[in-house]
Structure formats: C-alpha cells, structure tokens
Structure 1
Amino acid sequence: MTNKKIMLPVFVAVFALMFVAIAPNVIAESGDNSYDYDKKAHKGHKTVMVEGFVGSIAVPDMSEVEDKKAVYEELKSRVTVKLSDAAVVAENAGLAITKGKMAKVVNENGEKFVVWKLIEKNKDSNSETVTKTIFVVDAADVTNTSIVTKEYDHSMKNERHSGKDYKNTLSDPQEIESKIAKIEQKINDGTLSSEQAESKVQFLYLLRQLQSAISEGNDVQVDSIREQLQELRNQMIDLKKFRQ
C-alpha cells in the first residue's frame, strides 16, 4: 500500500491559512433568506457532525430571527482563536494541514458551534482511497479540539463532477495568466472590501502555485491546489451574495 499526502509545501499552506476570509455564510443556517442560493454553490459548506463536541460559541436557531446579519456579526466578534493558532495545535497533533477555514459543526444533540476546521488528506495510490482527517478547534478555546476521519473513493471523483467542471478551466497556462492579470487589476483598483481583497490575494497566490505545479508536472499538487481554488471560489461567491 502506497500512501501520499495531498498537501502543498509548508510555506504555501501557511500563506493560505493567513489569508482565509471569514465569510458570514460559514455560520449561516441553510434556509436563511439572506443566504439562499442554488445547492451547487452551497455544497462546499456542509456541516460536519462531531459527536460529543461542545463548543464555546453556540449558533442559535435562526428560523425566527429577523436581523440575521447582526447575529452573525455578534458570533464573529466572540471568536478569540486565530486560524494560525489552530493550525499550530493541529500540526502539534501530528497532522499535515493543507486547508483551514472557519466553519460550523453539529453534535449528536443537534447543537451547533463555531469552530476552525483544518484538513489533512492522505491518498492510497493503489486503491484510490482518500482519507480526510478533519481537525476541529473551538473558535474561542484553542484547547477544545476534536478529530473526525472520513474515507471516500477518489476514483469516482470525475463522475461526481461530470458536466461543466470549473477545475478544467484551470488547465490552460494562458488562461491562468489571464485570470492572474484580472485579479491583480481588481486588487490594485482599491475598490474591494477587506474580506474580498484577502480572498483575492489568496486566490492569486494559489493560481501562481498552480502554474508552477503544472509546469513541473506534479499532478498530486495540481489536484490539491485546484480543490482549494474551487473551495475558495465558492466562498467568494457566498461573500458576494452576502454583500448584495
């Protein structure tokens, strides 16, 4: 059995973790009118079940709350743990983290909490099985952690993403260079909000790393970076809808 860690070089991962935007959608309830959009755009934000976990920042039932934005802002204001701190805890636990973002988890009692969700992936090149380790860190208590492990068949990936695949548009070096130029222009225009600018900076950095990985023929790294770009793109779409 041959296992490969699906990860970026350490300096790339650290840079990416530094610039993850905290979008309000990560703690929004599905069905909130302010965040209604098609399921395809929302699929990247599934709530993870963590049995026995009780966090410091509980997400209330939003079904009858009128000013949802105010509630989400209040929840965000209670976050005291930095993503970089959560990443250090995960790495001290022996994990090679490649992704990190603020998220919402739910326990077996249906209680939901705001956390930092950090991910490590390992791929068995023989069976095409990918093991995803999700390291959860309480957003207000860095000592309160939990781990969830999932496995899935990576060989079925192309079938699950049949049709218009966004990642396929990130194969042409000229198209990637064109995207980089457009993003640089938007950043330099100075018209973006701080959250939007942070997301654009991270997207730009990952695009440049994708260029290098493609030129080097590193398929594993290319796949990992494309997945991160897809997830970040979904976050940027959510942030844009929140601003409208």
Structure 2
Amino acid sequence: MEKLLTVGELAKMAGVSIRTLRFYDVHGLLKPRSYTAAGYRQYGRDEALRLQQILFYRELGFSLEEVKKLVDDPAVSLLENLRRQNRLLKDREKQLLDLQNTIQKTISSLEGKIEMEINEYYQGLPQEKIDYYRREARRRYGEETVQRSEEMVVKMGKTKMAELQAQGQSIFEELAENIPGGPAQPIAQELISKWRKWLENFARYTDEGLLGLARGYRDDPEFRAFFDKIHPGLAAFIADAVEVYFKKSV
C-alpha cells in the first residue's frame, strides 16, 4: 500500500511552502491524490512527480500558464517532459558557465586587476534579454537615470552588492509571506517603505516612478515571472501594496 504524504511533508521534501501547494491545488496545477475525512490534502508518488515537473519548468523560467499547458498536454508523456527538461538544463549549464566567467571578470574588475566596459557586465545573458531590460529601463526612466544607476552599481563593489541583493531578497520573501493579509495591512506597508529605501541604493525614484516600477512588475511578463518565482502572485501584490502606500500618503 502506497504511503501518502501530507501537504506539510511534501512541501518540506520539495522545498516549497504549504501556501504554494495550496495555490497549485486551487488553480488546478497540482491536485492532491485524496483528502482525509478532516479535509487534509494527501499526495502520492504521481503527484510528487508532477510537482517535480512543475518546479523544474518554473526554475527554467516558464510561467504558471505555460507550465500547466506543458504538464497537462496528453500528447506528451512524463518521460518526454523529462527529456525536454534535460535538454533545456544542458543549455542552461552552458549559459551558467558563461555567467560564472562574467562574474569572475567583474570581481577582478572591482578589485582593480582588470578593466571592463559596462556592456561586458551582461555577457552570458541572452542578448535579447539584455536589450529588453535596458530598453525598458530607458523607456520608463530615461537614459540619464539608467546611466547613473549603472555607475552607482559599478562603484559600490562586490561585497556591498552582495549585501544589497540579500536584503532585497529578504524584503520580497517577507512580502510574499504576508500576501494572505492583503496589501493594506501595516506590515505590508512597512515593507514597501523599506523597499523604497532599499531602491535608493541603485536610483532615485519619484512617487510616479516607484508606482510605475511596481506596476511594471505586475504587467510585464518578464518581470512578473521573476517575482512570481519567489511566490505566485507576488508581482501583483507588490503593485497593489504600492498603490495603497501612495493613497495613504495623499
């Protein structure tokens, strides 16, 4: 008889939150095998394998909508999905090696051992993504703002940059944890204020600029995918919380 896992056991094994598994259930991505008499979710091996597929595709950058189509496609077997993911991971491995080389060069540059041009900071990223991100930044904030932000990043050094990246990740994770309480709750508003101060390490945003940035996270597929990787619905939650933030300050 197959041993079924509770939602907590599966979440711990997969390294995701219980809230994420509940979200996947509600949206039809991952239904439990069954429910106990008390209404608790139970998962078997098939559900665990499906979750693996979901998480691998998410790690590869696919949106939730794309993932659902891929894992629900009756014409594609589990083995075919695994082979496809294996090919994609091999491509990712080469890209990661290129990115690692760029990071090493950047470290050497910040230590004064070599010189790098700003465009070299993006080697290893797909060119279309580099062009897209920089084009979007210029469109939203202007050439002068983008240039000033890049100069600030260059000057801060690797240690400071690593610290700031960790701080930013922590803020976003805290926001994700507080999604159930809604965007107007005090803790969410405190975190938005903290996020705004954190952003000043990279650029100065007007009220309109900050609101535009948050809405961009929600409305732009590339940015939304990045934040929804941390937690489904996070991009929209940030945008909603920022809108509340400015309404309260009026």
Instruction: Name the structure with the higher helix share.
Output: 2
Structure possessing the higher relative contact order (Cα contacts under 8 Å, 6 or more residues apart): 1
**TM-score normalised by structure 2 residue count:** 0.25
Instruction: Look at both structures and tell me which one has the larger radius of gyration over its CA atoms.
Output: 2
